[in-house]
Structure 1
Amino acid sequence: MRIGAGVKLADLAAHEALIRDYPAIAQAAASVAGPTHRAYGTIGGNLCLDTRCLFYNQSQWWRESNNFCLKHKGDVCHVAPGGKRCFAAFSGDVAPAMMVYAAEVDLEGPRGSRKIPLADLYRNDGMNHLTLEQDELLVSIRLPKPAAGAVSVYEKSRIRGSIDFPLAGCAVRLAVEDGNIVDLRIALTAVNPYPQMVTGLDVFVGKALDDDALDAIREIVRKQAKPMRTTTVRPWYRRRVVGALARKLVGRLAA
């Protein structure tokens, strides 16, 4: 399936083939902000969403009174004052859901076109989190044919269930055969400057999905999530939440 970058999020959320074959993507699109935002917002915009931080997403006078920050006119990251890197968090919903399907994106610029994995569109840098060149555009997304028997889901935690960005979000794709895991992919959002594929899940392939496996999956996710003080909610809480989300969603898909 190929999706143009200008497709509205509301249209993605209601697309029958997407709901059937790529349910996590439809669910993620349906969870973005409120109905009005989804009616106007595009998938390209959500994938290229700027990183967010408590010290950045403020008014000009608020920023100035705080001597600005590394992401805007300043030379200090208030989240990690001892460092020289911005830790603003990527908070898009749809990227992790597409990444568990190994989505690719088409980019166009004056030097021609190129196709890259969606995961490679991002880097671990809150100031400059996109690998897009300044004169490039994201024009479309390609989704491979879904594997038979695989199921997926996306869910996020947020302060208000109506319009808020995620405090932590998790997409899971799972395939189970004869009670054993055949394929397991998990991607996270809002806990790093980039949407993150969880690594180290291959150890579960061929194993039964019991409580011990679910607990181990939760701990792997917790260890790889690196939230910082970019929201009003403590990093340790977001780390626990995203681990709990992963465990719950994997268990739900296996039920």
Structure 2
Amino acid sequence: MASDFSFARLRDLPHPIQKLMTAFAEHRLLATSALGIVPLLAIIFNDYRGFVALGPGGLPSNPLGWLAQLCLQPLGRLNTLSTSSLHSSRNADAVGPRGRDSFLGAQPLPPRRGHRPKVPGYVAPQRQTSECAVGDAVARMNAYVAGLACRNPEALIIKGSGLESKHCKALWLEDRRHPLPDYLAATTHGEIVHVHAEGSSHAVLSLIDAQIAIEQGWAQLHKLSGRAGMLPLTYVLIYAPRDQDETEVWQRLVTASALFNTAHSGGSLRLML
């Protein structure tokens, strides 16, 4: 038998529902727009929550900080793994006359095993959110950086980061006899290395060392590296070491940063044993 089911007519519906459907019909564009905003608001909320979850950084962990990094996105690199800008002839002097030299030592830098850690696409703070450091690894990393400064007080000093939160300690150039090289004076003001709470680090390397570190899987560029005069072209994020072998690679990269950034003064560093 054919079904005698039919949709209820508007006047047969409860009065509140009649009013709602009438309003929807009269303001269909507004209602449709409102429905479309809901998914957008969810995306914005999740993006903001991810930003705050990264913890303290160069920008405040609040809506203003999130908006600031959003405004900086158009200036940022789309691909932080590309090394084309590092071996471009037009950037040969981007980090001074020693930029084409390597300071990693005679041993080739081995490839990092496995996949790269996850690094969200925020302009700042730049952090990894997978394969983070565990235990006292960060404390030992900071101790290594502090040791470089302790052994070379005429060239290096530990003080609060100017790029991260005030609680983050950083390695700075401290050679009062020589002016800062231009690529640092105009950007980090002498800060060359700092370690983040989850175990990643930022460092300023030579062009060739930054290229090697990225291509071997140990690092990636910052979104603002070499952009609008904000950061040096070779300002890289070094991933958190996962074991002792990787810690030794990390130490080589940090030492290479110290050697490179002090090379302009012609001095020599006393390295960690």
TM superposition score normalised by structure 2: 0.27
User: Which protein has the larger Cα radius of gyration, Structure 1 or Structure 2?
Assistant: 2
Larger helix proportion, structure 1 or 2?
Answer: 2
TM superposition score normalised by structure 1: 0.28
